[in-house]
Amino acid sequence: MELLLEELSVLVKNIADYSYEIYQHSLNVAIIAASFAYYLNLPEEEIFLFLIKNAGLLHDIGKTKIDIKILNKSEKLIEEEWKIVKKHPVLGVEILTPYPWARSFLSLINYHHERWDGNGYYGVPGNKIPLGAKLLALADAYEAMSSDRPYQESKNLEQSLKELESCSGSQFEPFLVGKFIQLSDKIINQLGKDGVFKIGVHQFK
């Protein structure tokens, strides 16, 4: 299915207009996940890179349907708010369903908050989570740790890798955490000097 770059650009621009922070996070996740996939030397690499890169760009697009006040809240979310935030994968699927070129990676977006131990948003067990969604989840977590957020200071590479390792076997598949750590130098080389991606930021503006 042909990817319509114009449609993709409009969707990514919608994310940027909604929240510059989510936009930058999405670019970073796309690059981390795609470079991780690239260095894993997977079969049918080209197809997989297409899926993972675009799923990374659009994985949090469902958040644009959620009140920004909830997403920006620095205090702990109440149960009702948390329930709303947890809808963002399925809201993303709803937004992207009309686009034929997005259908091949909707499951990656739908399952990007699943955990290896089955305690993710939908409770999908680790062996049933698509590989691409597991890579997205790792890239998502690494990006969140290594960026400054209103509620946390960024972690350096060593601290971030330690935290990923501490979640090996619970949040993440141990084999993939090991590979991510092993390949981290190469993956991080795709980033700017301070660990934040510099490339492509104005690509869709």
Residues binding Fe ion (CB under 5 A)? 60, 140
Closest distance of CB 185 from Fe ion, Å: 23
The sign of the CA dihedral 137, 140, 145, 146 is: positive
Measuring CA to CA, which residue among 37, 41, 28 is closest to residue 105?
A: 37
| Nearer CB in complex with Fe ion: 110/184 | 110
In terms of CB distance, is 60 or 114 closer to Fe ion? 60
- Residue 38 or 63: the one with the smaller Cβ distance to Fe ion is 63
Nearer to Fe ion, 60 or 173 (CB): 60
Q: Which residue has the tokens 């049933």?
A: 128
CB of 139 to Fe ion, least distance (A): 9
Q: How far is the CB of 21 from Fe ion (least distance, A)?
A: 11
Q: What is the 3-state secondary structure (H, E, C) of 113-163?
A: CCCCCCCCCCCCCHHHCCHHHHHHHHHHHHHHHHCCECCECCCCHHHHHHH
- Least separation in angstroms between residue 62's CB and Fe ion is 8
